[in-house]
Structure 1
């Protein structure tokens, strides 16, 4: 019963819990009575955790391997089979949207003995803004800015902020790794960047591969250390906090220890290919039966 989806057996829940399993076992007459703790112990013996779930997606974008390998090669300081020079840089950039200024109706209380920090649930809305960041992959330096919203102009403002200062202004090439968001999608975005800054090269990872973009790691740090829990008086305080954190981060940052290589990518794609093939074969057998 545990290894079947609840909906397949007419139970109107999305996933099993131990109390639900115990209740259903009694309803079906599998046991006159069984406690949730007993069910939990039985599941633990077989390492079953039906209350957990993981999402997945098929990699359907054209040229996935080629596009992903370009990004991974840049992290390894190579491009089209040649080593990058000292005057070539790799930037990972993206936007973090809709950061709200939530002014709590009662002050946040610092943690104390046997007490967690306490944040009032009720808040007033002080507006929202977007945080755009460019991360120098090999030098662990962040360039960020806040904008009222995302879009082509805000993104190009970020690019200009980086490319107008050294060492990027006089660099031989600066590679910009960006996702397929509307602010920097497709050939038009590539041409726009090159026309504005001839030494800038835009590189797009495959669709559904934001995990290849190292700036997302920085954004996860920002989410944990700056944004959550959100308690800002107004948008000015949000802007100031982001700038202050950026300065603090840059003062001590080290490059991320990126270990996923093109060899790992090939292994991953081979496993996915085997999984897809097995899945199609099983489906064909089921249909034939």
Structure 2
């Protein structure tokens, strides 16, 4: 888990995850027939998930919360503090959410100097590797899930984190170079400028 004297954790939150229950049970696979489910569903409420992805190991520290405020974010940082070696600095990569920059957060960070925050640029949260993990969570645990209550959904989220850490965790490796990413960003920027000029 450690890089010598520090950890790098990629943090974000997935808010308003809906506990959805299909109005009819899924129709299972059979020869010549794909699995089917109804298009309509019942809503049973929502929950939010904070996740910290250890960039070196791919393991995740997660916290399920009812609300999404600075108070919950600070509680999540306290959980991270309890679950990491005390003698190592924590470099946290996160987006520019307002909950990350409140006066309470600034005060807490002054009292906990081992936490060093690194913000992704505005509109570039995709650079945060935990976003890739949220995509896996969506595909593997939520997309086809049926949850008859918020409690069922929260149990499924915690179970997924547990299974991920035990069976699936691995380091995230970028396959593109920084140069190719910056070239793509420049092309997108130039395209946007050309569209504005043509209007």
**What is the TM-score when the length of structure 2 is the normalising length?**
0.85
Q: Which residue of 2 aligns with 1:154?
A: 72
Partner SS for 2:78? helix
- The structure 1 residue matched to 2:120, chosen from 205, 219, 222, is 205
> How far off its partner does 1:271 sit?
4.4
Q: Give the corresponding residue for 1:133.
A: 51
Secondary structure in structure 2 of the residue aligned to 1:166:
coil
Segments of 4+ moved more than 6 angstroms: none
Residue 178 of structure 1: aligned partner: 94
Q: CA deviation at 1:148?
A: 0.9
Contact 2:70 2:105 in 1 (8 A): no
Give deviations 1:167-195, integer Å, cap 9, x for gaps: 2x321x11111101121147x57634522
Structure with more of its chain in strand, by fraction = 2
Pair 1:236 & 2:154 matched: no
Match of 1:112 in 2: 30
**Alignment match, 2:131:** 216
Return the alpha-carbon distance in structure 2 between the equivalents of residues 263 and 190 of structure 1: 34
1:123 aligns with 2:41: yes
Q: RCO (CA 8 Å, sep 6+): is it higher in 1 or 2?
A: 2
CA spacing shift, 1:148–1:278, aligned 2, 3 Å: closer
Is the 1:101–1:127 contact (alpha carbons within 8 Å) kept by the matching residues of 2?
A: yes
Distance 2:141 2:111 in 1: 33
Residue matched to 2:83? 165
Residue 175 of structure 2 corresponds to which residue in structure 1? 259
Q: How far is 1:157 from its partner?
A: 1.6
Alignment root-mean-square deviation, CA: 2.7
Per the TM alignment, residue 122 of structure 1 is displaced from its structure 2 partner at its CA by: 3.4
**1:193–1:201 Cα contact (<8 Å) kept:** no
Gap runs ≥5 in structure 1: 1-83
Secondary structure in 1 matching 2:20:
strand
Looking at structure 2, the residues matched to 126 and 277 of structure 1 have their Cα atoms a distance apart, in angstroms, of 41
CA distance in 2, matches of 1:211, 1:248: 24
Task: For residue 113 of structure 1, report the CA deviation from its aligned partner.
Answer: 1.7
TM normalised by structure 1 equals 0.61
Alignment length (residue pairs): 197
Does structure 1 retain, via aligned residues, the 8 Å contact 2:74–2:105?
Answer: no
CA shift in 2, pair 1:251/1:105, >3 Å? same
